[in-house]
């Protein structure tokens, strides 16, 4: 069955520190991969996505993610975290084709210490 795993339920980092959020997927073929962020009281916002090509993708808010086929991973990174980055982060995957329903990881809650 298709699945997305985010191994870390909760992460705390200090402001200015680097960040890496892990995501692993299990799919029959390489899926499309996404990272979304959900801030308290806010809707889901797309940070970045990967379909093919360059395995390092850049997103909004200074985030990037690297696709590693050999590890079935799509980890999200940011060099220097800001207090406003505190939020819930979701990794998701979909197939190609008309039906792009998203299969989601359970999310990683990020706290940022001043």
Contact flag: residue 103 with other proteins (CB under 8 A):
yes
The answer to whether 94 and 34 are in contact (CB under 8 A) is: yes
Dihedral sign from CA coordinates of 45, 77, 3, 52: positive
Contact flag: residue 27 with other proteins (CB under 8 A):
no
Distance of closest approach, residue 28 Cβ to other proteins, in angstroms: 16
Distance of closest approach, residue 31 Cβ to other proteins, in angstroms: 11
Distance of closest approach, residue 25 Cβ to other proteins, in angstroms: 15
Contact flag: residue 107 with other proteins (CB under 8 A):
yes
Nearest to 89 by CA among 8, 13, 25: 8
**Cα R_g (the chain), whole angstroms:** 14
Contact flag: residue 51 with other proteins (CB under 8 A):
yes
Q: What are the residues binding other proteins (CB under 8 A)?
A: 32, 42-46, 49, 51, 90, 92, 94, 98-107
């Amino acid at each position: 069955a298709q699945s997305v795993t985010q191994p870390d339920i909760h992460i705390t980092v200090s402001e200015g520190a680097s960040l890496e959020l892990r995501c692993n997927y299990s799919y029959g073929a390489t899926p499309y991969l996404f990272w979304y962020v959900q801030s308290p009281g806010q809707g889901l916002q797309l940070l970045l996505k990967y379909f093919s090509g360059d395995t390092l993708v850049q997103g909004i808010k200074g985030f990037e993610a690297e696709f590693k086929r050999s590890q079935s991973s799509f980890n999200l990174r940011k060099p220097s975290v800001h207090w406003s980055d505190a939020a819930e982060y979701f990794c998701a995957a979909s197939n190609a084709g008309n039906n792009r329903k998203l299969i989601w990881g359970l999310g990683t809650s990020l706290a940022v210490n001043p």
